Amino acid sequence: MRDHVRELVRGVDPLAGRNILREYLQARILEGLQRAGAMSALAFQGGTALRFLYGLPRYSEDLDFALEGARESYGLKAWLTGIARQFEREGHEVTGSLRDRSVVHSGWLRFRAVFHDAGLSPHRDEVLGVKLDVDTRPPAGAVTETRLVRRHVALRLHHHDRASLLAGKLHAVLQRPWTKGRDIFDLGWYLSDPGWPPPNLALLNAALRQGDPAAVELAGATWRASVAERVESLDWDAIRGDVRPFLERGVEVVGKGELMGLLGG
């Protein structure tokens, strides 16, 4: 197992190696969730879903899910325990933890020495953490589908469809209380694809009302203007600084003028 991890990052620079290694562990965690039957309850969403399903050219940190069905089979604690045991059988030093006192349940799998074993760190005690977030009361209106993909391993992923994924990203751009450059990069990536469908407005408006009951309802003719108003106020240096460590080699951050143009502003 350690030989495989080391082979994954052979010949790449340390930052890229760390991203590749994290993504490999994400794939293996998704494989563990799949084996446990978790995909009957969970729908994959967020930036990592975009990368695994549609080839978003940036790496991601967390695995994000919405609890969309089969709630009686939901058991994040048991899933984390089972996945950790599988990694331990393969020789990894891994611990799991869970915070489930809020609507969003957050689980962690922390891998000690994996950077060291891959030749990416001189410090054996350095930890690589992968976070799993589950929204246990997601807004209504999401449409889901299932897709087969292969990224390190074969995966059958139950996930939000393309229109619902875009709605989730627009919600983050409009209501996240801090600037996250990865949101803006993803938004530019969505909007630059002429084949990507319009956002699922039922889901977007439900999410906005969940965050702010007084939120103005968006329509097909108004959502771009609302997003453009938000984008206009952002610090582009902060955006670049946030997203740059996660970009594939040669990929650039969309410029503010370019993004405003895509929004029709």
97 shares its domain with 1: yes
25 shares its domain with 154: yes
- Please report which confidence band the pLDDT of residue 265 belongs to, taking 50, 70 and 90 as the band edges: low
* Domain finish residue from 143, 160, 177: 160
The pLDDT assigned to 133 comes to: 98
Is the pLDDT at 145 greater than 70? The verdict is yes
Is the pLDDT at 1 greater than 80? The verdict is no
Pair 117, 134: CB distance under 8 Å? no
175 shares its domain with 204: yes
The pLDDT assigned to 110 comes to: 98
Please report the beta strands in 2-143, taking only residues with DSSP state E, as ranges in sequence order. 42-45, 62-67, 93-99, 104-112, 127-135
CA distances from 42 to 99, 154, 202, 261 (A): 17, 18, 20, 36
Q: What is the pLDDT of residues 34-78, one digit of tens each?
A: 999 999 999 999 999 999 999 999 999 999 999 998 888 999 999
Q: What is the CATH number of the domain that holds 126?
A: 3.10.450.620
| Alpha carbon distance, N-terminus to C-terminus of the chain | 51
97 shares its domain with 111: yes
175 shares its domain with 150: no
The pLDDT assigned to 3 comes to: 76
Our count of domains for the chain comes to 2
| Helices and strands (H, E) in the chain, number of each type | 11, 7
Beta-ladder partners of 109? 96, 130
State the pTM of this model: 0.95
The pLDDT assigned to 183 comes to: 97
The pLDDT assigned to 244 comes to: 95
152 shares its domain with 168: no
- Please report which confidence band the pLDDT of residue 5 belongs to, taking 50, 70 and 90 as the band edges: confident
116 shares its domain with 232: no
* Domain finish residue from 160, 185, 211: 160
227 shares its domain with 178: yes
192 shares its domain with 86: no
The pLDDT assigned to 71 comes to: 86
Pair 208, 174: CB distance under 8 Å? yes
Domain that holds residue 186: 162-265
Pair 243, 184: CB distance under 8 Å? yes
121 shares its domain with 204: no
Q: How far apart are CA 116 and CA 196, in angstroms?
A: 41
* Domain finish residue from 131, 160, 189: 160
Q: What is the pLDDT of residues 13-37, one digit of tens each?
A: 999 999 999 999 999 999 999 999 9
Q: What is the pLDDT of residues 86-104, one digit of tens each?
A: 999 999 999 999 999 999 9
- Please report which confidence band the pLDDT of residue 109 belongs to, taking 50, 70 and 90 as the band edges: very high
Query: Angle formed by the axes of helices 46-54 and 181-191, to 10°?
Result: 40
153 shares its domain with 168: no
Q: How far apart are CA 56 and CA 179, in angstroms?
A: 20
Mean pLDDT of all residues in the chain? 95
Q: What is the pLDDT of residues 114-136, one digit of tens each?
A: 999 999 999 999 999 999 999 99
Q: Do β-strands 62-67 and 127-135 pair in parallel, antiparallel, or remain unpaired?
A: parallel
- CA 54, 55, 61, 62: dihedral to nearest 10 degrees? 10
Q: What percent of the chain has pLDDT over 90?
A: 91
148 shares its domain with 206: no
